[in-house]
Amino acid sequence: MIVKYGGNAMKSLELRRAVAAEIAALRALMPVVVVHGGGPVIERELTARGVPSEFRAGLRVTPPEAMDVVEMALSALNKALSQEVGQAVGLTGRDSALLTAEVLDPALGRVGRVTGVNAALLRTLVGAGLTPVIASVAVGADGQALNVNADTAAGAVAGALGEGIIFLTDVDGVYRAYPDPASRATHLTRAEVQAGIEAGWIAGGMIPKVQAALDALDRGAPFATIASGMGAGVLEAAARGEAGTRITA
Ligand SMILES: Nc1ncnc2c1ncn2[C@@H]1O[C@H](COP(=O)(O)OP(=O)(O)O)[C@@H](O)[C@H]1O
Ligand SMILES: CC(=O)N[C@@H](CCC(=O)OP(=O)(O)O)C(=O)O
């Protein structure tokens, strides 16, 4: 199982540690690979250095000087998360070409689109009983770092391994009538997701998330689930298909 968490499931150190404990518990049941973001940590480090940044269509415009800060911030966070998950190895996409990428759009600077995943490295680590914890920094053809949205990076890893993925966020799943949690869809097909975006009941930050889920399916993942990182036992329940919204082809 691939588990992705980012800013929303890291709003406090307490929540971050609770999520790490959930991941460690899931690992007792099945092999786990973790992919993480950390938008708020990046934001804080950019601000502290007076490096401005803006988002276009959900992606951070990343000139080279911002890329240096993104990599530094996510690498430091990666080591802390790896330690919290335990029995883990923290990596970025630059280690053993774990995530290779190409420039998505020169207008966005050093933002990457994942072109390859070193699945053999991940299988070796998992086979040795270790949990890979991957920061969403990839390596470009020029050998330099590229910034990849963490949901997208996680989807690419799930696709390459042919495993399911759970995106942990701050809502219980995809709601048909946001923000009413009673309207959570337990299951959605690709066609229903596309219809939901067109109809407007899938909106805001949920759009790039469901798009990352569809991209994961395109790349070979059997399912992609969106679930809450805020509740005890939710991750295990989502892995069983009993929590969150599971999206399948
Ligand atoms: N139909 C919907 N169901 C649930 N959440 C939705 C829906 N439409 C929009 N959202 C919004 O999407 C948010 C999750 O996306 P986002 O904040 O970008 O997550 P993350 O930072 O964890 O990647 C929710 O907090 C909610 O505000
Ligand atoms: C290109 C791009 O936008 N990269 C993201 C990577 C981190 C991320 O995605 O973190 P969350 O999971 O916390 O959102 C960024 O720079 O913020």
- Token reading at 137: 């920094």
Report if pTM > 0.95: yes
Indicate the top mutation candidate among 151, 166, 170, 247 to test ligand 1's pocket, ranked by most ligand atoms within 8 A of CB.
170
Residue whose token pair is 């070409």: 97
Residue whose token pair is 């499931």: 9
Q: Is residue 19 helix, strand or coil?
A: helix
Question: Of 55, 234, 239, 229, which Cα lies nearest the Cα of 165?
Answer: 239
Indicate the top mutation candidate among 99, 149, 157 to test ligand 2's pocket, ranked by most ligand atoms within 8 A of CB.
149
Per residue of the chain (249 residues), give pLDDT as tens.
Answer: 999 999 999 999 999 999 999 999 999 999 999 999 999 999 999 999 999 899 998 899 999 999 999 999 999 999 999 999 999 999 999 999 999 999 999 999 999 999 999 999 999 999 999 999 999 999 999 999 999 999 999 999 999 999 999 999 999 999 999 999 999 999 999 999 999 999 999 998 899 899 999 999 999 999 999 999 999 999 999 999 999 999 999
**ipTM score assigned to the predicted complex:** 0.96
Question: Of 119, 145, 141, which Cα lies nearest the Cα of 132?
Answer: 119
